[in-house]
Amino acid sequence: MSDSGLVAPGREWFARDPVELAPRLLGAVLGYDAPDGRVAVRVVEVEAYRGVGVDPGSHAFRGRTRRNEVMFGEGGHLYAYFTYGMHVCLNVVADATGTSGGVLLRGGAIVDGLGLARARRPGASDGDLARGPARLAKALGVPLAANGSDLLAPPFSLRVPRSPLEHASGPRTGISGAGGASSFPWRFWLPGESGVSPYRRHPKSH
């Protein structure tokens, strides 16, 4: 898709169920201006997470905490968190304020700042630079301190498709048990893209 097929979303664009928002983010271009330069990715894989008492795979399932506070806020902001105590993962806050929905950015393709992304992930192939949520965050250069940032304001930029792209869906990866069962087919991806992760079950929740 050329950039002409993308538009800058308004705040109200995010005020929808994360299961509805997630596939609409496929094909979106997210950019970040770090101190050492700018990188942008085209989003090719996402996962939707609902909130309190609804989605056992969600960080917000058991209610509001200091860690997940951003999920309860205004849509279009960034929920960033550490996984395994060392990797940053990025989520787009979804739905109305107070509902604690989010969309995990699982995979992308570099569309701007390829040289910088390569320097941040030396040895990785171009197709692998942003394949997987931790790799995507590292390629973009987004730190944990960016948690709560507005994705519609610098140093971020976001442009989204005018209408949803053709996509596939299935169980969320990296999760087993109730949060990853077939009743939660909330992973969405663009078929044929190298930035899409292989499906993998795992006991650790989102």
Domain of 121 in residue numbering reads as 9-189
- Domain-located, residue 58: yes
- Domain-located, residue 123: yes
- Domain-located, residue 135: yes
Output DSSP code: residue 9: P
Residue 1 confidence (pLDDT): 44
Residues 6+ apart with CB under 8 A from 34: 140, 141, 142, 155
Pairing, β 87-94 against β 78-83:
antiparallel
Q: Give the chain's domain count.
A: 1
pLDDT, one tens digit per residue, over 54-94 is 878 877 777 677 788 898 989 999 999 988 777 999 999 99
Query: What is the CATH classification number for the domain harbouring 23?
Result: 3.10.300.10
- Domain-located, residue 3: no
- Domain-located, residue 199: no
